[in-house]
Amino acid sequence: MDVRGGRPAIVPARATPPPVLLIVVAAALLVFDFGARILTTNDETRFPVMARDILAHGHWLRPEINGVPMLNKPPLHAWLIALAAWPGGGVTQRTAAVPSLLAGLGLVVLTYWIARWLFDPGAGLAAGAILVTMAGLFDLARSPLPDMVLSFVVTAAVVAFLVAERDGRRGAMLAFYVLTAVAFWVKGPAGLLPLGVALAYVLVRHGWSGPARLRSLAGLTVLLALVATWWALAFAKGGSVFVEDVVAQDMGRTYFTSGSWGHGDPLTPIAQALAVLLPWSPALPPAMWWAMRDRDPTRRAATGFVLVWAGVIFLLVALSHRQRWRYHLPLTVPVAVLLGAWVGSLPWRRHATLAVSIWTVVALAFVGGQVMLTSRNSSATKWQAIAREIDRAPGPVFAIDAPEIVFEFYLQRPVTVARDFDTFARRPDARYLLVPQRSLSDVPANVTVQAVADGIVAGRRFVLLKRSAR
């Protein structure tokens, strides 16, 4: 059944700019400072370091950091970074962000297509323009984190479901399950979000008989096989440690507990969702009011689907134990589609100039803010003095209370976590130790080290200590 109410969407007679203009503008906004982002957290540098291990040692199935396989997430995103870095021979700030950049541009195209198909070309252009100036997409399209690629694949799976729901094509439903499996390989259980969207929609639209519309033996087989493959690979390497630490604690607690809602803090996920939608979140209430009051059956069917889509994504992410604003990135697409449809419903001649002016101001503000942020982060992160010292006298590097993967990425050598100073002292091979500057007063008398260099990461100052000769 066609989610647009069984008849084609009405395309207004007014002329709209060609979609290629949207793509060119989106590319200009996302590429102008590409590769300038300084990586300052372990989360940002984890997948680039895994990709470096893939290129150096061929650990495609279970990439490692310092000889330890990373089993918390499937390796697909690390593969993509490795492929982007392969021609140049090394993983850099620039190559690490290539998958996110391409996924961000692809997400703008998919958003345009969905809004155009559900509503009209004007809604498509408005939705794409709104999406590219949402804080979530504008920021994460420059990041090596897997969230942008996840959002692209999740959205592509929802598109496949839309096609299957409209035309009843078995191939489209197969594509839906395959893309959901790919999303799982990007970021684990979070990749199963399309299943929640599809199940909720068919229940709302068709009642208890709705889930039967999701039947696809081949699709379900592929999904289960690909999910099981990752579990098997991770279990074969990690065994009971993988089950206890990753499955039970990390994935189980993260995705299947009550999170902020269960702890009496429902405002946290709401605030984070609104933050990822900035600066367009204030437009969400009038757009929802318009959608609920609209009498046109075609638009009501379309907006109904979009509201279900957005609601399911928000609820599933909000119910997770761990809350970070980037986890709400998949929410940006249905919200952009809804806002695009609302903007497209306004009298075009009267509001076109105002809408374009507001969007231009927002875009310029993002560009200016990005330039300032990049400059500030560059001045607040410096590791060159530490690198020069280690290059003069190479040796094993350890770290206490420091972003060890960040240092490993920029120093291009292993950095091992030490639990405390005594752990470092007991290692006869240990030569260097990275510690926060404030920890210098905590060095025990039996640990003979001297400060030889310092640096800063995201404004935090760290000191490189070198083992002294006794």
Give the DSSP per-residue string, 218-271. HHHHHHHHHHHHHHHHHHHHHHHHIIIIIIIIIIIHHHSS-HHHHTT-THHHHH
Q: Which residue has the tokens 């400072």?
A: 33
Q: Residue 260: pLDDT above 80?
A: no
Measured CA to CA, the distance from residue 88 to residue 296 in angstroms comes to 54
Q: Residue 183: pLDDT above 50?
A: yes
444 upstream amide cis, omega within 30 of 0: no
CB 78 within 8 A of CB 51: yes
Confidence at 83, pLDDT banded by 50, 70, 90 = very high
Domain 384-467 has CATH 2.40.280.10: no
Q: Residue 423: pLDDT above 80?
A: yes
Nearest C-alpha neighbor of 194 from the set 213, 205, 178, 215? 178
Q: Residue 12: pLDDT above 70?
A: no
Confidence at 246, pLDDT banded by 50, 70, 90 = low
CB 100 within 8 A of CB 140: yes
Query: Angle at CA 197, nearest 5°, toward 328 and 171?
Result: 125
Among the residue ranges 25-39, 233-247, 346-360, the one predicted with the least confidence is 233-247
Return the structure tokens found at 249: 């604690």
Confidence at 441, pLDDT banded by 50, 70, 90 = confident
Identify the three-state secondary structure at position 273: helix
Q: Residue 20: pLDDT above 60?
A: yes
* Per-residue confidence (pLDDT) for residue 366, from 0 to 100: 85
Q: Residue 322: pLDDT above 80?
A: no
Q: Which residue has the higher pLDDT, 70 or 222?
A: 222
Return the structure tokens found at 383: 């590791």
The conformation of residue 467, written as its DSSP 8-state character, comes to E
To the nearest whole number, what is the mean pLDDT of the chain?
A: 87
- Which DSSP string do the residues of 48-88 spell out, in sequence order? HHHHHHHHHH---SS-EETTEE--SS-SHHHHHHHHHHGGG
Identify the three-state secondary structure at position 463: strand
* Per-residue confidence (pLDDT) for residue 323, from 0 to 100: 77
Among the residue ranges 123-137, 209-223, 370-384, the one predicted with the least confidence is 370-384
pTM for the complete prediction? 0.90
Confidence at 7, pLDDT banded by 50, 70, 90 = very low
Return the structure tokens found at 318: 């909000």
Backbone φ and ψ for 419, nearest 5 degrees, come out as -65, -40
Q: Which residues pair with 464 in a beta bridge?
A: 434, 453
Query: Angle at CA 342, nearest 5°, toward 347 and 270?
Result: 150
* Per-residue confidence (pLDDT) for residue 469, from 0 to 100: 64
Return the structure tokens found at 149: 């690629």
- Domain ranges, ordered by start, for the chain: 34-377, 384-467
Backbone φ and ψ for 226, nearest 5 degrees, come out as -70, -40
Dihedral (CA of 198, 199, 205, 211) sign = positive
Mean pLDDT calculated for residue range 18-36: 89
Q: Residue 298: pLDDT above 50?
A: yes
Measured CA to CA, the distance from residue 30 to residue 150 in angstroms comes to 18
Among the residue ranges 25-34, 103-112, 260-269, 395-404, the one predicted with the least confidence is 260-269
The length of the chain in residues reads 470
The conformation of residue 373, written as its DSSP 8-state character, comes to H
Rg of the chain, C-alpha, whole Å: 25
Among the residue ranges 118-127, 144-153, 261-270, 418-427, the one predicted with the least confidence is 261-270
CB 358 within 8 A of CB 378: no
Measured CA to CA, the distance from residue 9 to residue 302 in angstroms comes to 9
CB 330 within 8 A of CB 150: yes
Measured CA to CA, the distance from residue 131 to residue 104 in angstroms comes to 10
Report the interhelical angle of 193-206 vs 147-167 (nearest 10°). 30
Burial pattern 31-65, b for ≥16 Cβ within 10 A else e, equals eeeeebbbbbebbbbbbbbbbbbbbeeebebbbbb
Confidence at 239, pLDDT banded by 50, 70, 90 = low
Q: Which residue has the tokens 């240092």?
A: 407
